[in-house]
Structure 1
Amino acid sequence: MRAGLATFALAALMTGAPARAEVLQFADLSGWETDDHRAALTSFLETCDLIDGADWRPLCNLAADAAASDRTARQFFELFFRPVVIGTPPALFTGYYEPEFDGSTVRTPRFTYPLYSRPPELRDGVQYLSRAAIEGGALRGRGLEIAWLDDPVDVYFLQVQGSGRIRMPDGRTLRVGYAGRNGFEYRSVGQEMVRRGTHRMDQVSAQEIAAYVRAGASDLLSINPSYVFFREVDVPAEKGPIGAMTRSITPMRSVAIDPAFTPLGAPVWIDKQGANPIRSLMVAQDTGGAIKGAQRADIFYGTGPAAGDAAGTVKDGGRMVVLLPIDRAYAMLDGL
């Protein structure tokens, strides 16, 4: 059977309902030949030793030598991988970033909204206190506060992003990362704005949500019962935040995906449409509570306000293609 013509039920990479998949050739990836393959390979090397599966290990061993130039990096991907479309496009691409906010490690008249560390009794997958209960003071007085911010909207968006940098009054920067959540399903504030009829879906962005809530709709944040806890992380200033694979992620080379469909650590070709198209090889190094489905990815745009402005407006279609080791890609056909 010719590659590029096979469509089949995919079971090996997922735990949910069957998805469809199609094996392509690299010539089918528009923009492949002009991408910076060496930059993608550098990002891949950050986490390749953590990928599950014996067929990945020899590729990781070869990857370091292939990073010598863009030519050898491109040859590495073309020799040892095949592009696979999992699920049915169009994809949904969004963006995320690492925020930077002013804050304090102690409560002050200005900084009054806490970021909490993970409570010791919290159990993954088990519902804990809701957002409303926590914000109502259920954890107050237990010494779980990592830092304090001056805006509840900033606290909320730090939870949505899952990591951030907090600038202290003495000039020090505290970096925080995801430590767990309260077990409640994420509920979209943007979708609630559409449901209430105050906005159309094409009007909803991170910037618009923040502005609307600050203008008097603070009750909107409470419709999302999911609550995220943080931990202090020791990461060099020049490195990105820690992703789901416990390593730093790379701006415009890392994406958050649904690991039920896409293996964590796998190279992923992003063909994003919209006002600012992207055709680039990235790496699936993160996950997110709102990232569900085979054709769903959240692109990491970097750190700070400019990255936030860029990420906050992304809501585009296109196609996501996973690069899998050759044997793994074609082994799917054996089940037909």
Structure 2
Amino acid sequence: MRLLPALSWATCLLLLATGCSRAARPPVTRPEEALVPVSHPLELSDDGDAETLRTAIAQSLSWLKAQSAEQRFVFGQRTVTAAEMRSALERLSARITTGLSPAELTRRVLEDFEWMEAAGGEDGTVLFTGYYEPLIEASLSQTGEYTTPIHGPPGDLLEIPLEPFAERFKAERLFGRLDGRRVVPYWTRAEIRGGKLAGQKLELAWAKDAVALFFLEVQGSGILRLPDGTERRVGYAASNGRPYRSIGSLLIQEGTIPREAMSMQALRTWLALNPAQCTRVLDFNESYVFFRFLEGASVGSLGRPVTPGRSIATDARLFPRGALAYIQTDRPVATADGQVTWKPLSRFVLNQDTGGAIRGAGRVDVFWGRGPEAELAAGMMKQKGRLLFLVPRSPQAR
């Protein structure tokens, strides 16, 4: 069942009739609350290919091998060590073979893992969106055509992990700068655009289109196409620490774009038709991303490459990093006549990224890679669905 972001009365009644609704509750703030027993059964069936699943598992294993064997990962009321996570994923990877049927893959997964379900947001549901690698026009030098700087991280930007101060701040970081002896918030997008970083020689490259660069920031990584046709990949290096504010929500509130019509494609179209409004609208989001050049594939928050269709981003404060998960929702697909249809999406994924807008137990971002299909999925996905995490079984249970 495809659920729209804004539920109609008819949809609400349908949910009540089918028993799918959950009582409203306070937002989840602790990892022990983020995963709960499965609310009602579902059939796990993977619609992807074996090779991409093996690739994504290999990236989690590469990261896990660099962690202490005793590092602990919280799966709701259960705690699992890095050694246990690594062992279970290694066994599974060795048993994933080309041509494996979805039913046999599920059977092999469940021999070594048991499932728990995400508690969801305040309404108990999980909202799925997508992200991708945009391609933008840029130059390594400033010209009359390429005028918008793409900045690397500034030297005066402070990144302060808060977990050493209190356990409740696990995975939280504070970004700021020194003003005398005080740490104060870093410059906003508007202040940076106004020249607060001028003279520091932080420019990695120069973009042709400020709006295209803005959406590159939202995605977190992407590809620069240079005037000679060559490409350079850039990825997230740091941010100014300001909270992410959705420009889509701003235009909905102003009545400019109807909520039901909102998408990345709708935003791009409106901004192109209203260039005089671009600066005001983009500056509404005070968050600003600094980049670095990448020599290989796009990397997630684990510092490892993310796999299209197999890597997801969740709230790092609540869900175990690098863990095996399962998603069930819908994705958009373009038809031959240029229309968009929706098809079910159900597959095993790896939790390998996070993001400033991905907050709470009811948010998941799916990575789609690059190209038109990836852009479509990233721009239009706003679907409700289910998120499960697969917890390594104890040796006795196996």
- In the superposition, the TM-score normalised over structure 1's length comes to 0.85
Q: Which moved more, 1:157-166 or 1:307-316?
A: 307-316
Tell me, yes or no, if structure 1 residue 326 matches structure 2 residue 379: no
- Find 2:205's aligned residue among 147, 150, 170: 147
Per-residue Cα deviation, 1:107-159 (whole angstroms, up to 9, x for no partner): 01111011100011211212211101001111122210011111110110010
TM-aligned CA deviation for residue 310 of structure 1? 2.6
TM-aligned CA deviation for residue 24 of structure 1? 7.7
Name the SS of the counterpart of 1:303 in structure 2.
Answer: coil
Contact preservation (8 Å) 1:194, 1:200: yes
- In 1: Cα distance, 2:327 partner to 2:299 partner: 21
- In 2: Cα distance, 1:264 partner to 1:109 partner: 44
Which residues in structure 2 correspond to 1:100-119 (within 5 Å)?
Answer: 100-119=135-154
Question: What percentage of aligned pairs have identical amino acids?
Answer: 34
Structure 1 residue aligned with 2:303: 246
Flag the 1:33–1:283 CA change in 2: closer, same or farther, 3 A.
closer
Contact preservation (8 Å) 1:23, 1:82: no
TM-aligned CA deviation for residue 281 of structure 1? 1.3
Tell me, yes or no, if structure 1 residue 174 matches structure 2 residue 232: yes
Contact preservation (8 Å) 2:63, 2:304: no
TM-aligned CA deviation for residue 64 of structure 1? 4.1
Per-residue Cα deviation, 1:9-28 (whole angstroms, up to 9, x for no partner): xxxx9746834611489xx4
Flag the 1:65–1:161 CA change in 2: closer, same or farther, 3 A.
same
- Find 2:286's aligned residue among 206, 209, 225: 225
Residue identity in the other structure for 2:158: R
Residue identity in the other structure for 1:184: R
Structure 2 residue aligned with 1:5: none
Tell me, yes or no, if structure 1 residue 295 matches structure 2 residue 362: yes
- In 2: Cα distance, 1:195 partner to 1:93 partner: 22
Which residues in structure 2 correspond to 1:71-90 (within 5 Å)?
Answer: 74-88=106-120, 89-90=124-125
Per-residue Cα deviation, 1:275-306 (whole angstroms, up to 9, x for no partner): 33211111111111101121211111111344
Structure 2 residue aligned with 1:6: none
Tell me, yes or no, if structure 1 residue 130 matches structure 2 residue 188: yes
Per-residue Cα deviation, 1:222-267 (whole angstroms, up to 9, x for no partner): 11100000001110xxxx4111111111111111111222211112
Which residues in structure 2 correspond to 1:16-95 (within 5 Å)?
Answer: 18-19=33-34, 21-23=36-38, 28-32=41-45, 36-37=49-50, 39-51=52-64, 52=71, 53-69=82-98, 70=100, 74-88=106-120, 89-95=124-130
Flag the 1:158–1:183 CA change in 2: closer, same or farther, 3 A.
same
Alignment length, in residue pairs?
311
- In 1: Cα distance, 2:310 partner to 2:223 partner: 20
Which residues in structure 2 correspond to 1:186-205 (within 5 Å)?
Answer: 186-205=244-263
- Find 2:351's aligned residue among 284, 297, 307: 284
- In 1: Cα distance, 2:316 partner to 2:304 partner: 16
Contact preservation (8 Å) 2:57, 2:93: no
Q: Which moved more, 1:148-157 or 1:40-49?
A: 40-49
Structure 2 residue ranges without an equivalent (≥5): 1-27, 65-70, 72-81, 160-173, 176-184, 332-341
Flag the 1:19–1:283 CA change in 2: closer, same or farther, 3 A.
closer
- In 1: Cα distance, 2:379 partner to 2:358 partner: 15
- In 2: Cα distance, 1:61 partner to 1:280 partner: 19
- In 2: Cα distance, 1:287 partner to 1:198 partner: 30
- Find 2:132's aligned residue among 97, 100, 106: 97
Contact preservation (8 Å) 1:118, 1:179: yes
TM-aligned CA deviation for residue 169 of structure 1? 1.4
- In the superposition, the TM-score normalised over structure 2's length comes to 0.72
- In 1: Cα distance, 2:61 partner to 2:261 partner: 39
Name the SS of the counterpart of 1:103 in structure 2.
Answer: strand
Flag the 1:38–1:170 CA change in 2: closer, same or farther, 3 A.
closer
TM-aligned CA deviation for residue 92 of structure 1? 0.2
TM-aligned CA deviation for residue 324 of structure 1? 1.4
Residue identity in the other structure for 2:128: F
Contact preservation (8 Å) 1:265, 1:284: yes
- In 2: Cα distance, 1:264 partner to 1:279 partner: 20
Flag the 1:18–1:60 CA change in 2: closer, same or farther, 3 A.
closer
Per-residue Cα deviation, 1:187-239 (whole angstroms, up to 9, x for no partner): 1111111111222222111111122122222111111100000001110xxxx
Contact preservation (8 Å) 2:118, 2:386: no
- Find 1:255's aligned residue among 312, 315, 324: 312
Residue identity in the other structure for 2:357: A
TM-aligned CA deviation for residue 75 of structure 1? 4.6
TM-aligned CA deviation for residue 31 of structure 1? 4.9
**RMSD over aligned Cα, in angstroms?**
2.4
Tell me, yes or no, if structure 1 residue 206 matches structure 2 residue 264: yes
